[in-house]
Copies of this chain bind each other. A is one copy, B any other.
């Protein structure tokens, strides 16, 4: 049985606590948060503390705090056991504990109040040795199903890729919404297209799935479109159109 301590009280920490609390094969034995009021609701279910000197002995310490707090918190963990963090963009070397280190990165966008389907979430795991990696895999499989071994160099790039397909894609949705609002078109008209676009790339590579005036180099339609846009929208339209037209050339 794997004994786990979670450090943190944010979205990722909360969802991990929720899924781990009822488990028997994996045992959540303690939750730490700097601000104890954020975890007092857990006190009847698990040991809680805001004193990092009082961490219990466990197999894995999961640090699920903001990126810039990972270094400081990890440096204060004096117990034995594997210390991992859950961040996509922080290297394994940023963990400052003196013992073993690893990564337990859940690649999904978490919202506090929305239930998470752990079966679909990719667990991106890294450790300094095979035994620790095996332990992390066992922990991940007790929660979810999709396991990937991703080292810090790969994870850094994966995190940038995620910015493109999540943050930037969402911003393009915002622009679409802005255009619709301006002309009294309900944005929901675009929901099926948005969904189809997101699902299509699971059966076709995004390069093969590309359609539209830029792909056809249809300069007449492109010009007509530009005439309909604000300056800022024109800039984005132009740079993405050029990028599609040029393909892998640049």
Q: A-side interface residues toward B, CB under 8 Å? A: 67, 89, 107-109, 111, 120-122, 124, 146, 148, 150, 153-154, 156-180, 182-186, 188-202, 205-207, 209-215, 221, 224-225, 228-232, 235-237, 239-240, 243-244, 246, 248, 250
Q: Report yes or no: B183 in contact with A172, Cβ–Cβ below 8 A.
A: no
Q: Report yes or no: A169 in contact with B194, Cβ–Cβ below 8 A.
A: yes
Q: Report yes or no: B168 in contact with A229, Cβ–Cβ below 8 A.
A: no
A153 to B23 CA separation, bound complex (whole angstroms):
57
**A243, chain B: closest CB distance, angstroms:** 6
Smallest Cβ-Cβ distance to A235: which chain B residue? B239
**A161, chain B: closest CB distance, angstroms:** 4
- Number of copies of this protein chain within its complex: 2
Q: Report yes or no: A231 in contact with B250, Cβ–Cβ below 8 A.
A: yes
Chain B residues whose C-beta falls within 8 Å of the C-beta of A205 in the assembled complex:
177
Q: Most chain-B CB neighbours within 10 Å: which of A120, A162, A244?
A: A162
Q: Report yes or no: A194 in contact with B183, Cβ–Cβ below 8 A.
A: no
Query: Which of B89, B148, B193, B243 interacts with A221 by CB under 8 Å?
Result: B89
Q: Report yes or no: B157 in contact with A228, Cβ–Cβ below 8 A.
A: yes
A210-B148 contact given A156-B228, A160-B179, A197-B109, CB 8 Å threshold: no
**A65, chain B: closest CB distance, angstroms:** 15
A4 to B236 CA separation, bound complex (whole angstroms):
41
A177 to B168 CA separation, bound complex (whole angstroms):
14
Smallest Cβ-Cβ distance to A124: which chain B residue? B189
Query: Which of B157, B171, B209, B250 interacts with A244 by CB under 8 Å?
Result: B171
13 extra interface residue pairs, beta carbon distance < 8 Å, beyond A162-B190, A195-B198:
A108-B196, A109-B196, A109-B200, A148-B189, A153-B183, A158-B179, A160-B225, A161-B190, A163-B225, A169-B198, A170-B209, A174-B210, A176-B206
